[in-house]
Amino acid sequence: MRMTVLEALRAAMAYELDNDPDVLILGEDVGTAGGIFRVTEGLQNRFGKYRVVDTPMDEKGIIGHAIGLALFGMKPIAEIQFSGFIHDAHEQIMFCAAKYRWISGGQYTVPMVIRAPSFGGIKGGIWHSQSIESYYAHGGGIKIVCPSTPQDAYGLMLAAIRDPDPVLVLEPVPLYRALSGEVNENGEASKIGVGELVRSGSHVTAVTYGPLRHTTAKVADELAASHGIETEVIDLVSLIPYDIDLLTESVETTGRLVIIHEASETLGFGAELAARVQQRSFGSLQAPIERVGAPDVPYSYRVGDEYCRPNERRIAATIKRTAEYSF
């Protein structure tokens, strides 16, 4: 069935609510209103107020209570209204949810989903445009996935709900309604940790995730047409763990890597990718690994979408420079 990213997320949650009585959704405005983006629209009517729960405006409380629910065998899906509001719950996520299994010697587990509508491009300003992945990728115990197509959204949401560990789902806000595609509603979960080869190319590898996957693929097509530069585009889809083999196999063919993400460059996820790729594929590299990310500045309401978030011009310039680089 053809559906938007938003509808695919909803379909996956509805499927699990239908099939697993332990699943419940909690968050601010998720019930009657169906969430401020309407991702959970209609679910409270269908499953009732005990399974789709409107909570107080308290991110730390939402995550803390979801942890308790999960400790006792429920499968909570906690919605954070915008990723920029998640930080109040940082300790609960990183030092409680992500650590219970380890600190208890495996006696207690916290299988839960944290939904975080993420990324820029919606004229949202600093708190409604955040790329939070680096804050949550550090130190272990929580998986991070980042779907960028309706099928990924469906399969990864199912995977996240069924996972035995906490999973942070970075939902691509600018794609919620902008993108639609076929979704096989077969109830099958995707595998976390598997990236996608979006476009083949032999000159340079461009790795990205989230909404910029589509921007990067478009730039790659244009560079092929205008300059004959063939860019291999990889969408990581999962960040913890990420698909290192897909990435290094590509880099070992092209010898050149550009990393594109919306987060600030310093200690962004690209820093991890660059470090790992140079360690594994040092002998193959024919150019410095380049990053296209946000500068280390907050996200402006008026010009953030144009000048903070990587745009087509910056991505094109960096891919071209890297493809043409010679020692």
Partner 1 sequence: MTTQTEGNPRTPEPVPLERAGELGIHRVIDQNGELNGDLADPGLSRDEVRMFYETMVLLRLIDERGWKLQRSGRIAFWIPLRGQEAVQVAATHAMDPADWIFREHRTMSPWLMRGASLELLFAQLFGAASEPQKGRRLPCLIGNRAVNMVQGPTQVGSFITHACGVGWAAKLKGSDARVLGMFGDGATSRSEFHSAMNFAGIHRPFVVFLCVNNSWAVSTPLDRQTASSEFAAKGNAYEVPNLRVDGNDPLAVYAVTKKARADTDSHGPTLIEAITWRSGFHTSSDNPDLYRQRQEDKLWEPWDPIRRTRKYLTRADWWNDDDENDLLERCAARIQKAVEQAENMDIPGPDSQFEDVFESSNWMLDEQRKKLLDELADGNH
Adjacent-strand bridge partners of 167: 113, 143
- Beta carbon nearer to partner 1, 55 or 231: 55
Residues in contact with partner 1, counted by CB under 8 A, come to a total of 43
Contact region with partner 1 (CB under 8 A), list: 96-104, 124-132, 202-210, 283-291: 96-104
Listed in sequence order, the residues at least 6 apart from 268 whose beta carbon sits closer than 8 Å to its beta carbon are 131, 134, 261, 291, 293, 294
Which region, judged by CB under 8 A, interacts with partner 1, from 107-115, 172-180, 299-307, 315-323? 107-115
b vs e for 220-254, b when ≥16 Cβ sit within 10 Å of the residue's Cβ? Answer: beebeeeeebbbbbbbbbbbbebbeebbbebbeeb
Interface characters, 76-95, with partner 1 (x: CB under 8 A)? ---------------xx--x
Is there binding between residue 24 and partner 1 (CB under 8 A)? yes
Q: DSSP for 149-168?
A: SHHHHHHHHHHHHH-SS-EE
67 binds partner 1 (CB under 8 A): yes
Nearer to partner 1, 55 or 151 (CB): 55
Exposed e or buried b per residue across 66-94, where buried means at least 16 C-beta atoms within 10 angstroms of its C-beta? bbebbbeebbbbbbbbbbbbbbebeebbb
Using CA of residue 208, residue 275, residue 170, residue 50, what is the dihedral sign? positive
Cα gap 185→174, rounded to integer Å:
23
Can you list the alpha helix ranges (DSSP code H) found in 72-172?
A: 90-92, 100-103, 133-137, 150-162
| 145 contacts partner 1 (rule: CB under 8 A) | no
Give the residue with the Cβ less far from partner 1, 185 or 272.
272
Residues 6+ apart with CB under 8 A from 118: 83, 130, 131, 132, 133, 146, 170, 171, 172, 173, 210
Q: Which is nearer to partner 1, 99 or 314 (CB)?
A: 99
Rounded Cα distance between 13 and 25, Å, is 9
Question: Is residue 42 within the footprint of partner 1 (CB under 8 A)?
Answer: no
- Mention every residue, 6+ apart, whose C-beta is less than 8 A from residue 29: 35, 36, 54, 81
Nearest approach, Cβ of residue 64 and partner 1 (Å)? 3
Q: Which is nearer to partner 1, 124 or 270 (CB)?
A: 270
Given 55, 81, 231, 322, the residue binding partner 1 (CB under 8 A): 55
Instruction: Look up 65 and say whether it is catalytic.
Output: no
Per CB under 8 A, does 282 bind partner 1?
no
**74 scored as a contact of partner 1 (CB under 8 A):** yes
| Choices 39-47, 55-63, 145-153, 302-310; region in contact with partner 1 by CB under 8 A | 55-63
Q: How far is the CB of 230 from partner 1 (least distance, A)?
A: 28
Phi (first) and psi of residue 170, to 5 degrees: -85, 105
Choice among 128, 203, 214, 261 that is catalytic: 128
Residues in 164-223 at the binding interface with partner 1, rule: CB under 8 A? 164-165, 193
Rounded CA gap, 214 and 312, in Å?
Answer: 10
Of 293-322, binders to partner 1 (CB under 8 A) are none
Among 42, 48, 68, 295, binds partner 1 (CB under 8 A): 68
CB of 137 or CB of 204, closer to partner 1 = 137
Residue 73 or 283 having the CB closest to partner 1: 73
**Catalytic sites, residue numbers:** 128
Which stretches of the chain bind partner 1, using CB under 8 A? 22, 24, 50, 55-56, 58, 60-61, 64-74, 91-92, 95-96, 99-109, 140-141, 143, 164-165, 193, 240-241, 244
